[in-house]
Structure 1
């Protein structure tokens, strides 16, 4: 399978991104309840300009959401991956990797000095992907979330963009 094309999301992508979000939701990576069909995908601090999407054969097959870790001016030099989803049918074929690389490139383009993310401790595939793309574990919050009756670590990862 050739690599998907990556582009900035457009307002017209909302319905397809919302569908993708519902289809890919899993307690393996989500700390929030499953998205409702009527929930908007784009939000005040997560509009189309904050999303890169992967397209393959005219269909959206993934997205990555970028944003700031906090609203503080003293933290404005950091971009954070605030969500990543890849359609089941293209998992393991390089779409997630292409999105992570695009997010790192976009963070650099925006002038960020660092890029960070949070990933659940039991999400081994995502952790391996991030590590292979240069992210390192910078902290662990043990048992930070209780998901399906199990306590799960919140793993903080990051990398310098300098």
Structure 2
């Protein structure tokens, strides 16, 4: 058996955790947002954070909740984290983060947690810190709370297309609708409306002191290829840089060439590589 150096972290080590997350402002954004909001106590987070390394030299982190997210995970940390969770029933819907760490974790966990529904091994992680050179679409704006009934069908369509299953399956409609409503209330949901329906949308799904991470990008299939997404993303970038964070980031599947071209035209540059294992 491996001698496990990983351990459950608590609020007493919050400073060390935040310093480690600061070293990976884009790759660690999902964990950094949650730590900033609720600290490290599992009972506040409905998740656990494991650390690898001594109290004086914290080397790696692993968030274990609805998603499993490694941050700065070394080879030894990956093995330690995997051993800690391999004996538990899988409770997460995905493993996501730095490609090397995610694929390393999956190589350890696949025998007990497999099979996966999909493995996406190459997802460019991209960021921008200046306004896009593309003229922003003036019709893209923040969604109002009274517009959720128009946004929700587009959000479901995006999720289903991207993930491969509907977020409303198995009784998930209420929780997914509340998630969309939460993004609207937080002024993180953007859309372009035409004749009472959404034709472009995007959200700032993660916000930290370093970056606002775009997710949920979707264009009406009948209107793709006409520049809506490019001008729409430029509008989201402009508002996010002005109002939310000093940079904007996202990750995209390597095979989604149209989306990658949109982000490149908007001025995003690759800063890392993610991978995702979906269950």
Q: Same fold (TM over 0.5)?
A: yes
| Alignment partner of 1:88 is 2:225 | no
Structure 1 stretches of 4+ moved >3 Å = 24-27
Q: Secondary structure at the match of 1:63?
A: strand
Q: Secondary structure at the match of 2:252?
A: strand
Aligned with 1:34 (options 166, 169, 177):
166
Gaps of 5+ in 1: 70-74, 149-162
Tell me which structure has the larger Cα radius of gyration: 2
| Alignment partner of 1:66 is 2:204 | yes
With the length of structure 2 as denominator, give the TM-score of the two structures.
0.43
Higher relative helix content: 2
In structure 2, how many angstroms separate the alpha carbons of the residues matched to 1:59 and 1:145? 31
Q: 1:94 to 1:56 in 2, by over 3 A?
A: farther
Q: Secondary structure at the match of 2:199?
A: strand
In structure 1, how many angstroms separate the alpha carbons of the residues matched to 2:225 and 2:138? 13
Contact 1:64 1:82 in 2 (8 A): yes
| Alignment partner of 1:57 is 2:195 | yes
Q: Aligned Cα RMSD in Å?
A: 2.5
In structure 2, how many angstroms separate the alpha carbons of the residues matched to 1:134 and 1:110? 19
In structure 1, how many angstroms separate the alpha carbons of the residues matched to 2:195 and 2:205? 28
| Alignment partner of 1:121 is 2:259 | no
Q: Secondary structure at the match of 1:12?
A: helix
Q: Secondary structure at the match of 2:198?
A: strand
Gaps of 5+ in 2: 1-136
In structure 2, how many angstroms separate the alpha carbons of the residues matched to 1:4 and 1:61? 14
Q: Which has the higher contact order (CA 8 A, sep 6+)?
A: 2
Q: 1:22 to 1:4 in 2, by over 3 A?
A: farther
With the length of structure 1 as denominator, give the TM-score of the two structures.
0.71
Q: 1:10 to 1:111 in 2, by over 3 A?
A: closer
Q: How far is the alpha carbon of 1:81 from its aligned partner?
A: 0.8
Higher relative strand content: 1
In structure 2, how many angstroms separate the alpha carbons of the residues matched to 1:137 and 1:17? 30
Paired positions, count: 136
